[in-house]
Structure 1
């Protein structure tokens, strides 16, 4: 069993964070203008401008020390290897279309369950032959969605831990992160590193 990827959506239905671990095919970069900046450098549209520098490495507040960590915006970022040269690895949908499909599936299933079973029932996961989708929704409207091996147990508690731990610590309580702006993702190096460490430490992760 293993964990494939994590998506976070805000209350405006926009994907504000993405992280993958063991995808069979790498995520295809989004079309320029299709996603918010700083969602993930792996799916950011390829450009040759200084703005392509990873925004997650700028304006980040380390909560324990109060030190602001900044990186020169003019330092060019090394492009991802084979980002456009291998059609076999990038034959799927662009990431912005993939993110819309994931959110659409969750929204449709959640609405269907509410109409059939009533407001007391919650949609928390569903399983297919190739993956299992897990959902945790916060009171503020953020949706944490994780894709895992179909044989994995419910990982809703893991999504809740991500929210109550790294998300609150490095995103909500970080005054330099633009929350709910409709213009920017929420990625920063501390949140990404902490989330990655948490997922790799799980017994379900192989």
Structure 2
């Protein structure tokens, strides 16, 4: 059994955070202008325009301080980012090098799936439709928490503040609501809710930052269900 990925949606239906682990078919980068907020996932954000400010003609780099070769993906150097006076990186902090595609049975090269902004909309549409269907058929006594297919299981955890955490796992996995609850009450509260530099509920940016991503990754990798 294993865990594939995690989405976090806010009450405006926007995807504000994404993290994956064992996906063999990665989504493409989001379409430029497709509605994906910045600060969701650096590896899946739209590529910067070739006409961006600071670009040098005839070079594969977008700027002298962001020297990621677009043709090879080799990271020569990277921007040291911006930090708050307290040392806590903002959601525009130094991004890690792009995540390489994972191989495996049925695997594909990075960019083989849907654009990420379209994938996020599909995931949210599924949980919203099933959630409404369960409420209409079962009344207020039951709520939608998960569904299973032959290839994956989707788990849903909703908070009182309107955030929805969605996790995809192996179809044989038990309920992972306790994992998403631990993510919300641990890293999310510590590095998002209590961080005055994160523009929550703004419809402007996602909530991704270095400490949040590292803490969620450490928490998930430490689970017995994670392989």
Query: How high is the TM-score relative to the length of structure 2?
Result: 0.78
In structure 2, distance between residues paired with 1:12 and 1:71: 19
Say whether residues 1:114 and 2:135 are aligned partners: yes
In structure 1, distance between residues paired with 2:216 and 2:91: 22
Q: Name the counterpart of 2:74.
A: none
Unpaired runs of 5+ residues, structure 1, are none
In structure 1, distance between residues paired with 2:112 and 2:4: 18
Cα displacement (A) at 1:190 = 0.4
Q: SS state of the match for residue 127, structure 2?
A: helix
Cα displacement (A) at 1:91 = 3.0
Cα displacement (A) at 1:26 = 1.7
Q: Name the counterpart of 1:18.
A: 18
Q: Name the counterpart of 2:202.
A: 181
Unpaired runs of 5+ residues, structure 2, are 55-61, 67-77, 102-107
Q: Name the counterpart of 1:193.
A: 214
- 1:113 and 1:50, CA in 2 relative to 1: closer, same or farther beyond 3 A? farther
| Alignment RMSD | 2.9
Say whether residues 1:103 and 2:124 are aligned partners: yes
Cα displacement (A) at 1:27 = 2.2
Query: How high is the TM-score relative to the length of structure 1?
Result: 0.85
Q: Name the counterpart of 1:140.
A: 161
The C-alpha deviation readout for 1:67-119, integer Å capped at 9, x for no partner, is 3447998x99866668xxxx954232100000000000000000000000001
Give 1:67's match in structure 2, choosing from 84, 87, 93. 87
In structure 2, distance between residues paired with 1:178 and 1:187: 11
Cα displacement (A) at 1:188 = 0.4
In structure 1, distance between residues paired with 2:26 and 2:117: 14
Q: Which structure has the bigger radius of gyration?
A: 2
Say whether residues 1:203 and 2:224 are aligned partners: yes
In structure 2, distance between residues paired with 1:71 and 1:118: 40
Cα displacement (A) at 1:50 = 6.5
In structure 2, distance between residues paired with 1:40 and 1:76: 9
- 1:91 and 1:179, CA in 2 relative to 1: closer, same or farther beyond 3 A? same
